[in-house]
C-alpha cells in the first residue's frame, strides 16, 4: 500500500510541523485527514507484517509508531475539540469517524502476525541490549495484544472487534447525552426574593446568562459553577429542590422529556448494553468478569484485593461519617428549622454549619483567590519544587478564553507547553481534566519532540469587570489538574510509549495530581497566592486558621461517598447481572444503603451521568482515586518530614528534585511501585492518608472535633 503524502496547506489536521492550527481546523477537515492518516498507518502495519521485514525494534516497533503517532495526534485534536467546543457539525463528523478509528486500532491489537513479530523481538538475542524503556514498551505491548484479542481464533475476532466498536459508540452517546441533558435545563428566577443567600458574582453570572438567552430575570443552569452555589447558599428551598431533582435525574427516564412523554437523552439502556458487552469481552478473553480485565494493567492484583481495600477504608471512615451526619441533622433541626434533612438541604445545611462552627464561609474565602493571584501562586510552587520557569506563550486556540504557556528549564531551554482552558460554557463537557496534546519522544532524525498538554476546568468566568475568583475547592482542582500536567510535561523518557503518563498504571496515574492538592493547605503557599479581589489584601492568618480547623469538616461523609462510587463501579463489573431484575440504579441504591450513612433519594439516577466509568476510561478503576490518595499522602509526608527537619518550608527543593527524578521524570518506564519506593525508600502505608483526613484516631479523639 502506497504512502499518502499529506497536503498540510489544505488540511491543518495533517500539519504536524508544530502546534495544532486550531484557528484553521473545521469539521470538514476531519474525514479527509483520517483517510490519509489511516492509510499511512495501515501501510506501516502491512510493511511490518511483510515476511521480508526483520523482527527488529527499528523495523517493526519504531516504524509502526512513527506512522501511527500522527493518527493518534490528529484524532486527539478532534476528540479534544469535541469535548470543549461541541457543535452539531463537529459532533456528527466525530461520530462518523469514531468507528473507523476504533476499527483500525482493534485490527492492530488483534493482529496475530504482528503479535508474533513483537514476541520474536522479545525472544531475540537483541532484546537484552535494548534499553529498559524499550523492554517495558515491549512487555506492555505483549500484554495489550492479549487483551485486544490477538490470541483469539480467527472466527472470534470479528465479534471481538464489533464489541470494541459498539462500546466506543455507546461511550460517545453516553457523554453526548450527559452534555445535552445538562445544557437543556434552566431554572429562571423572576423575583429578587428567590435570590436570597446567593453570592453576588453568582447572581450577576445568572443575570448575564438570562440576557444572552434574551429573557428577563436570572438564568441558572446545571453546569456546576451555576448549580452548586444554589445548593450551598440559596435560602429559597423550592429552588434548591427543583435544581437538585433536575441534576440527579439528568440523562435518565425521569429527565427532560419529549412532547410525546418519552425521556430524552436517557442513558439507562446504554448502561445496560455497555455492561453486557464488557462482560462478553472479558469472557472471550478467558476472564470471569470485566473487573479482572481492567486490573491486568493496574497495580491492584485482583478485584478481591480492591474490595478488601475499600471495605477496610469504609470500616475506618464510618464512625466519622456517622458523627458528621448526626451533627448535621441536629444542627438543621435546631438552627434551620429543618426537621427532616432532604437531599437538596444537605449542602445548604453543611455550609451553614461550617459558617457557624468555624465563623467563615466559602464565599468569603473565594474573594481572596482571584485568578491572576492563583495562577501566579501555582506556577511559583512548581518553579520552587522542580526548578523550572513558566512563561506565557503564543499559539492558536479554540476559544478566546484559552491561554498558552511554556515550561522552561533554568537555562531557558524548552521543556514543555500547555493550554489552559478554565471557564465553563455551553458546548464544553463538564468536569476538569488533563489530556495529552502530544508526548515527548526523540524522533528518528534525532530531534526531540517536547510534550504539550491540555489543562481543562469548568470554573465561573469573570463577571462585572473583575477577574474570576475561585473557591478553595476550585484552587485544589486547579492544582490537581496541574499535577497531571507536570507528570506529562516533566518526563525525561525519550520513548513515546512510556513517556509522561503513557504506560503508567491507571491506579497510580492520580498520584501526582492528588499530591499537588496538599500544597493548597499550606500557609506559606496560600498566603503568597492570595489577593482580595477588591482590597488586594492577603489572606488573613485568622481566616486561614479557620480553614485548617474546617479542613476535615464532614470528611467522613466525603470518604463514604467516594467508597459508594468505587464499590458500585467494582460490583457492576464483577457480578452484576444485566439480564436480572435489578437495574444499575437499583444496585447503586443497594450499595449506598450498605455503606453510606445518608439515604439516597428515591428518584436519584446518578449512575446515568457517571461518565468516569461509562465514557471516561475508569471502568472497574474508580477506586484508583482512593488508592492514589494513599500514595500521594505518603509521598507528601516526605515534604512534611523535610520541613520539620530543616525547620523550613514544604517547598523543599531537594525533596522536590528527588520527587521529580523518581516519580515525574520516569513516567511509565518502570512499575509505579518501584518509582514510589525509589522516592520514599519503602512501600506506601495508609497512615498519612488517615492523618490528613482527620481519621487517625477515634472520632472523639479526632482533632477536627476539638473546635
Write down the CATH superfamily of domain 12-151.
Endopeptidase. Chain P; domain 1 (1.20.1050.40)
For residue 696, the SS3 value is coil
- Asked if residues 340 and 439 have their Cβ atoms less than 8 Å apart, the reply is no
At 444 the pLDDT is 74
Write out the three cell numbers for 395: 499559539
Q: Which residues of 355-380 are buried (b: 16+ CB within 10 A; e: fewer)?
A: eeebebebbebbbbbbbebbbebbbe
389-394 contacts: CB < 8 A, separation 24 or more? 393/417
C-alpha cell at 325: 451526619
Q: How far apart are CA 275 and CA 510, in angstroms?
A: 25
Residue 307, by phi and psi: left (phi above 0), alpha (psi -120 to 50) or beta? alpha
The whole-angstrom separation of Cα 197 and Cα 358 is 18
Is-contact 397 419, C-beta < 8 A? yes
Q: What is the pTM of this model?
A: 0.90
- Which residues form the catalytic set? 481
117-123, Cβ contacts within 8 angstroms, sequence gap of 24 or more: 117/48, 117/49, 117/53, 117/55, 117/60, 118/60, 118/61, 118/142, 118/145, 120/55, 121/55, 121/56, 121/57, 121/60, 121/61
For residues 364 and 539, is the Cβ–Cβ distance under 8 A? no
Determine contact, residues 160/280, Cβ cutoff 8 Å: no
In angstroms, how far is CA 312 from the centroid of its own chain?
25
Please provide the distance, in angstroms rounded to a whole number, between the alpha carbons at the two ends of the chain: 73
CA distance 570 to 275: 12
Tally of CA atoms within 13 A in the half-sphere of 650 that contains its CB: 21
268-360+555-622 carries CATH number 1.10.10.10: no
What pLDDT score does 592 carry?
A: 98
Q: Which grid coordinates are listed for 700? A: 472523639
Provide DSSP, 292-348: HHHHTTSS---HHHHHHHHHHHHHHHHHHHHHHHHHHHHHHHHHS--SS--GGGHHH
Q: Which residues in the chain show pLDDT less than 70?
A: 1-9, 256-263, 697-707
Domain residue extents for the chain: 12-151, 185-248, 268-360+555-622
Cα 142 to the center of its chain, rounded Å: 27
C-alpha cell of residue 192: 429578587
CA nearest 665: which of 478, 546, 512? 512
Q: Residue 471's Cα: distance from chain center in Å?
A: 19
pLDDT for the residue numbered 120: 97
User: Mind giving me the DSSP string for 102-148?
Assistant: HHHHHHHHH-HHHHHHHHHHHHSGGGGGS-HHHHHHHHHHHHHHHHT
For the purposes of burial, counting CB atoms within 10 Å of the CB of 4, is it exposed (0-12), middle (13-18) or buried (19 or more)?
A: middle
CA distance 427 to 168: 21
Sort strands 403-409 and 452-459 into parallel, antiparallel or unpaired.
Answer: unpaired
- Which of these, 435, 510, 511, 497, lies nearest to 670 by C-alpha position? 497
pLDDT of residue 697: 67
Q: What is the pLDDT of residue 8?
A: 59
pLDDT at 255: 87
DSSP assignment, residue 251? T
Amino acid at each position: 500500500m502506497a504512502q499518502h503524502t499529506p497536503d498540510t496547506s489544505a488540511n491543518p489536521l495533517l500539519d504536524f510541523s508544530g502546534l495544532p492550527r486550531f484557528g484553521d481546523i473545521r469539521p470538514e477537515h476531519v474525514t479527509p485527514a483520517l483517510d490519509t492518516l489511516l492509510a499511512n498507518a495501515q501501510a506501516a502495519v502491512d510493511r511490518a507484517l511483510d515476511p521480508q521485514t526483520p523482527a527488529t525494534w527499528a523495523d517493526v516497533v519504531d516504524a509502526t509508531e512513527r506512522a501511527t503517532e500522527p493518527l493518534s495526534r490528529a484524532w486527539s485534536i478532534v476528540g479534544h475539540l469535541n469535548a470543549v467546543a461541541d457543535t452539531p457539525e463537529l459532533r456528527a463528523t466525530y461520530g462518523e469517524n469514531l468507528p473507523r478509528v476504533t476499527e483500525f486500532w482493534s485490527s492492530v491489537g488483534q493482529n496475530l502476525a504482528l503479535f508474533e513479530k513483537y514476541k520474536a523481538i522479545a525472544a531475540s538475542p537483541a532484546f537484552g541490549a535494548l534499553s529498559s524503556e524499550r523492554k517495558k514498551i515491549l512487555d506492555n505491548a505483549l500484554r495489550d495484544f492479549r487483551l485486544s484479542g490477538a490470541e483469539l481464533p480467527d472466527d472470534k475476532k470479528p465479534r471481538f472487534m464489533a464489541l470494541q466498536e459498539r462500546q466506543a459508540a455507546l461511550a460517545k452517546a453516553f457523554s453526548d447525552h450527559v452534555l445535552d441533558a445538562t445544557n437543556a435545563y434552566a431554572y429562571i428566577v423572576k423575583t429578587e426574593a428567590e435570590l436570597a443567600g446567593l453570592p453576588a458574582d453568582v447572581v450577576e453570572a445568572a443575570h448575564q446568562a438570562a440576557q444572552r438567552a434574551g429573557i428577563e430575570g436570572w438564568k441558572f443552569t446545571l453546569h456546576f459553577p451555576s448549580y452548586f452555589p444554589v445548593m450551598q447558599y440559596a435560602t429559597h428551598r423550592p429552588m434548591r429542590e427543583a435544581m437538585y431533582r433536575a441534576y440527579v435525574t439528568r440523562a435518565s427516564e425521569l429527565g427532560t422529556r419529549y412532547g410525546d412523554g418519552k425521556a430524552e437523552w436517557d442513558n439507562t439502556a446504554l448502561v445496560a448494553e455497555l455492561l453486557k458487552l464488557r462482560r462478553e469481552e472479558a469472557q472471550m478473553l478467558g476472564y470471569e468478569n470485566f473487573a479482572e480485565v481492567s486490573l491486568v494493567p493496574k497495580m491492584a492484583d485482583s478485584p478481591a484485593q480492591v474490595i478488601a481495600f475499600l471495605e477496610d477504608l469504609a470500616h475506618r471512615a464510618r464512625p466519622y461519617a456517622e458523627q458528621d451526619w448526626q451533627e448535621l441533622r441536629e444542627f438543621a433541626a435546631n438552627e434551620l428549622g429543618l426537621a427532616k434533612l432532604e437531599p437538596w438541604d444537605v449542602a445548604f445545611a453543611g455550609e451553614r454549619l461550617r459558617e457557624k462552627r468555624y465563623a467563615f464561609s466559602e464565599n468569603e474565602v473565594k474573594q481572596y483567590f482571584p485568578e491572576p493571584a492563583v495562577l501566579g501562586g501555582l506556577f511559583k510552587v512548581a518553579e520552587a519544587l522542580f526548578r523550572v520557569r513558566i512563561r506565557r506563550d503564543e499559539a492558536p486556540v479554540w476559544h478566546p478564553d484559552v491561554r498558552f504557556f511554556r515550561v522552561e528549564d533554568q537555562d531557558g531551554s524548552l521543556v514543555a507547553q500547555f493550554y489552559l482552558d478554565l471557564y465553563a460554557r455551553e458546548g464544553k463537557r463538564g468536569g476538569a481534566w488533563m489530556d495529552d496534546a502530544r508526548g515527548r519522544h526523540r524522533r528518528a532524525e534525532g530531534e526531540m519532540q517536547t510534550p504539550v498538554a491540555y489543562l481543562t476546568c469548568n470554573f465561573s468566568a469573570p463577571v462585572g469587570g473583575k477577574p474570576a475568583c475561585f473557591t478553595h475547592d476550585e484552587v485544589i482542582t486547579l492544582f490537581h489538574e496541574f499535577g497531571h500536567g507536570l507528570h506529562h510535561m516533566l518526563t525525561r523518557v525519550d520513548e513515546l510509549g512510556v513517556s509522561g503518563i503513557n504506560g503508567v498504571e491507571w491506579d497510580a496515574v492520580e498520584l501526582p495530581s492528588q499530591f499537588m492538592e496538599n500544597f493548597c493547605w499550606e500557609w506559606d503557599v496560600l498566603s503568597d497566592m492570595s489577593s482580595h479581589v477588591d482590597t488586594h489584601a492577603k489572606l488573613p492568618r485568622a481566616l486561614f486558621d479557620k480553614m485548617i480547623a474546617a479542613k476535615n469538616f464532614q470528611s467522613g461523609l466525603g470518604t463514604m461517598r467516594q467508597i459508594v462510587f468505587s464499590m458500585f463501579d467494582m460490583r457492576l463489573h464483577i457480578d452484576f447481572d444485566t439480564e436480572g431484575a435489578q437495574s444499575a440504579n437499583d444496585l447503586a441504591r443497594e450499595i449506598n444503603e450498605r455503606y453510606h450513612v445518608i439515604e439516597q433519594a428515591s428518584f436519584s439516577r446518578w449512575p446515568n451521568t457517571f461518565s468516569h466509568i461509562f465514557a471516561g476510561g475508569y471502568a472497574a478503576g474508580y477506586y484508583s482515586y482512593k488508592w492514589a490518595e494513599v500514595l500521594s499522602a505518603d509521598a507528601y509526608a516526605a515534604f512534611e518530614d523535610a520541613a520539620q527537619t530543616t525547620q523550613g518550608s514544604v517547598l523543599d527543593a531537594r525533596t522536590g528534585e528527588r520527587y521529580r527524578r523518581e516519580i515525574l521524570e520516569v513516567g511509565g518506564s518502570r512499575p509505579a511501585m518501584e518509582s514510589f519506593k525509589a522516592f520514599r525508600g519503602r512501600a506506601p502505608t495508609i497512615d498519612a492518608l488517615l492523618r490528613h483526613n482527620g481519621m487517625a484516631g477515634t472520632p472523639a479523639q479526632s482533632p477536627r472535633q476539638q473546635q
